[in-house]
Amino acid sequence: MRPRSDNSYAGGPVNWRIIRSLLPYLSEFPGRVMLAMACLILAKVAGVAVPWALKLIVEHFENATDALVLVPVALLVGYGLLRFATVFFSELRDAVFARVAERAMRRISLKVFEHLHRLDLGFHLSRRTGGLARDIERGTSGISFLLRFMVFNIIPTLLEIALIAGILLINFSPMYALAVLGSVVLYGLFTISFTEWRNRFVRETNKLDNRSNTRAVDSLLNYETVKYFGNEQFEARQYDEHLEGWESARMKSRLSLAALNSGQALIIAGSVTLLMVMAANQVASGAMTLGELVMINAYMIQLFIPLNFLGFIYREIREALINIERLFGLLDAPVKVRDLPAAPELEVSGGSVSFDDVAFAYQADRPILHGVSFTIPAGHTLAVVGASGAGKSTLARLLFRFYDVDGGSISIDGQDIRSVSQESLRQHIGVVPQDTVLFNDTIGFNIAYGRPGASEEEIWQALRMAQLEDFVRRLPQGLDTQVGERGLKLSGGEKQRIAIARVLLKNPPVLILDEATASLDTHSERRILDALNLVSARRTTLAIAHRLSTIVHAEQILVLDHGRIVEQGSHQQLLAANGAYARLWTEQQRASDMDSPLP
């Protein structure tokens, strides 16, 4: 497998450019964004006016005579309306912006999903499915958080700080405005520096969470293997060791969060106390009314509640960015197999396949194929045999363009497969793999996957050709029978025949059989071989085989050894040559005779 760079940069500083990369997703609904911003401003203006209304109410009672105390109904109603407006416009803002945030999550999730499908096979062979799923889940949640809170919490809070500082500066001593701004700066510096320090624990927690989740998923996917060896307790111990590390990192994260919250609370309490002492002294000296004291207190409470929330938002944004950076790291993973600009579609007339001096290596220091050349005439079958590791399956992967060749070329009807679009190439090639993995859905769904939209009659026709019709009709739910995760509810032979039916439904001109009968018993193999011979008769077929009995009718057979063709010819020609193929045939026949039941 080719080495690839690790593009997840969770160990480094958070990439704030991520925020800028999210902004284009806001442009899909510009009207909603503008309306949400208007609601934001109205909510903050109403919120800032509430303490002023409270001041007027207090001053009304403070200045009223004992003989005539009138209830300021208009002020009280206005006070209530302002409070309602603060909440109403905030909720309306969130409701209007919800579509923007959800659509952005949808677009980015789809972009990551499509990109993962464009990555080469090497990436997917080395991935950790559990950790990858968690990265995507946390990343998309972090995107939603960023879009909602970055725009509608941080900016409004800063606006509110500016408004309150301005009111205090205009109506009272500049010392009040300086005290507020100083408190905000101190709070901000403490929050930022402390949060940066504790991000190491957040990253460690996420890494260990991925590791434990990956271990759990791997164990459950290999349920049967665990049972075969009675290793339930071993798996539990392994999982618990991962959870122990996660628990320790999680505790460090929680303790550091508690220290951060305590420090923020101390700054807030000290700031409020300082301003109240200043205001109380002025009330005592007659320089300030009781209503103004109440207003300053209300402003301080109103200021530090969102400011405290701003500290939470900043922490969460930093954590969200850590999660998103791994998601964006997936998008940064290089696509190694790319189409040429404006690549044309593959035009198949007969389906002749040619390998011309093909060289390939998964790793530079471990070459697999050395100058392999052969041609499969249109409608003919060519079989490749050889020991494990000889490079047989690599030929199939290169033809399907899971990888690009390092040297030489592969062509179909004279067209280099690197010069045509991958989509059109793969539309014309059908593959029956050695290890068939099915979707956790119905038999009908898995067969129709070969050609989505196929009619039920076409599905049954494919089943008949794959010698599977009788089996499916005997099932109580027929085509609606669930196959389980990875098809575990079916036998190996049943899964293989579903894979064959799926390819038959696709009806491609070029066929790859990668040990397609490896999971079948002798009786099933004979039935499937009849179907495959019928199908292959009018298709160009590359058959990768281990059992030589399955490919004796191939027009041409290649013997591959350590990535080189050492023999080539028909079954009879290779037997007559008395070389590597003949020796392999003799060994398999002898083994078959030994496995046959005694008369």
* Three-state SS annotation for 191-244: HHHHHHHHHHHHHHHHHHHHHHHHHHHHHHHCHHHHHHCCCHHHHHHHHHHHHH
pLDDT at 58 over 90: no
- Closest to 405 in 3D by CA, of 337, 465, 340: 337
Per-residue pLDDT band for 420 (boundaries 50, 70, 90) equals very high
pLDDT at 444 over 80: yes
Share of the chain above pLDDT 70, in %: 86
List the structure tokens of 5: 């760079």
Give the total residue count for the chain. Answer: 599
User: Left (φ > 0), alpha (ψ -120 to 50) or beta: where does 46 sit?
Assistant: alpha
Average of per-residue pLDDT across 120-136: 68
- Residue 599 has what pLDDT? 45
- Residue 143 has what pLDDT? 79
Beta-bridge partner residues of 569: 557
Inter-axis angle of helices 290-332 and 129-145, nearest 10: 150
Beta-bridge partner residues of 369: 360
Secondary structure of 331-347 as H, E, C letters: HHCCCCCCCCCCCCCCC
Which of 43-57, 143-157, 197-211 shows the lowest mean pLDDT across its residues? 143-157
Q: What 3-state class would DSSP assign to 123?
A: helix
442 contacts 482 by C-beta, under 8 angstroms: yes
List the structure tokens of 356: 């011309």
- Closest to 151 in 3D by CA, of 282, 26, 336: 26
Alpha helix positions (H), 222-353: 223-228, 232-284, 290-332
271 contacts 300 by C-beta, under 8 angstroms: yes
pLDDT at 519 over 60: no
Measured distance CA(157)–CA(168) in Å, rounded: 17
- Residue 467 has what pLDDT? 79
Average of per-residue pLDDT across 272-288: 82
Instruction: Please give the full DSSP string across 477-496, using - where no structure is assigned.
Output: TGGG-B--GGGTTS-HHHHH
With vertex at residue 180, the alpha carbon angle to CA 51 and CA 254, rounded to the nearest 5 degrees, is 100
What is the pLDDT of the chain when averaged over all its residues?
81
pLDDT at 6 over 50: no
25 DSSP 8-state letter: G
pLDDT at 209 over 80: yes
Question: Which residue matches tokens 């990439």?
Answer: 15
Q: Please give the torsion angle defined by the CA atoms of residues 63, 70, 86 and 165, in that order, rounded to the nearest 10 degrees.
A: -10
Measured distance CA(106)–CA(33) in Å, rounded: 17
Average of per-residue pLDDT across 188-215: 81
pLDDT at 67 over 90: no
pLDDT at 4 over 60: no
Contacts of 473 (CB under 8 A, 6+ apart): none
Average of per-residue pLDDT across 347-365: 91
pLDDT at 8 over 50: no
Question: Which residue matches tokens 């093909």?
Answer: 358
Question: Which residue matches tokens 């078959």?
Answer: 592
Average of per-residue pLDDT across 139-164: 75
pLDDT at 31 over 70: yes
With vertex at residue 76, the alpha carbon angle to CA 70 and CA 79, rounded to the nearest 5 degrees, is 150
550 contacts 496 by C-beta, under 8 angstroms: no
Question: Which residue matches tokens 């067209």?
Answer: 415
- Give helix then strand counts, H and E, for the chain: 19, 10
Average of per-residue pLDDT across 440-456: 88
Per-residue pLDDT band for 598 (boundaries 50, 70, 90) equals very low
Q: What 3-state class would DSSP assign to 429?
A: strand
Q: Please give the torsion angle defined by the CA atoms of residues 63, 65, 68 and 71, in that order, rounded to the nearest 10 degrees.
A: 20
Which of 105-119, 149-163, 220-234, 563-577 shows the lowest mean pLDDT across its residues? 149-163
- The alpha carbons of the chain give a radius of gyration, in whole angstroms, of 35
Question: Which residue matches tokens 């603060």?
Answer: 86
Measured distance CA(366)–CA(513) in Å, rounded: 26
Measured distance CA(231)–CA(218) in Å, rounded: 14
- Residue 248 has what pLDDT? 86
- Residue 9 has what pLDDT? 37
374 DSSP 8-state letter: E
137 DSSP 8-state letter: H
pLDDT at 267 over 70: yes
User: Is the whole-model pTM more than 0.85?
Assistant: no
Instruction: Please give the full DSSP string across 37-55, using - where no structure is assigned.
Output: HHHHHHHHHHHHHHHHHHH
Measured distance CA(351)–CA(62) in Å, rounded: 96
Per-residue pLDDT band for 132 (boundaries 50, 70, 90) equals confident
pLDDT at 354 over 90: yes
Pick the residue with more confidence: 159 or 194?
194
Which domains, and CATH codes, for the chain? 17-332 (1.20.1560.10), 352-428+511-594 (3.40.50.300), 436-507 (3.40.50.300)
Per-residue pLDDT band for 311 (boundaries 50, 70, 90) equals low
Measured distance CA(93)–CA(89) in Å, rounded: 6
Measured distance CA(301)–CA(312) in Å, rounded: 17
466 contacts 498 by C-beta, under 8 angstroms: yes
List the structure tokens of 583: 């020796």
Share of the chain above pLDDT 90, in %: 15
- Residue 567 has what pLDDT? 92
Maximum average pLDDT range among 50-54, 108-112, 353-357, 581-585 = 353-357
359 DSSP 8-state letter: E
Per-residue pLDDT band for 483 (boundaries 50, 70, 90) equals confident
Which of 30-34, 195-199, 359-363, 437-441 shows the lowest mean pLDDT across its residues? 195-199
Per-residue pLDDT band for 516 (boundaries 50, 70, 90) equals low
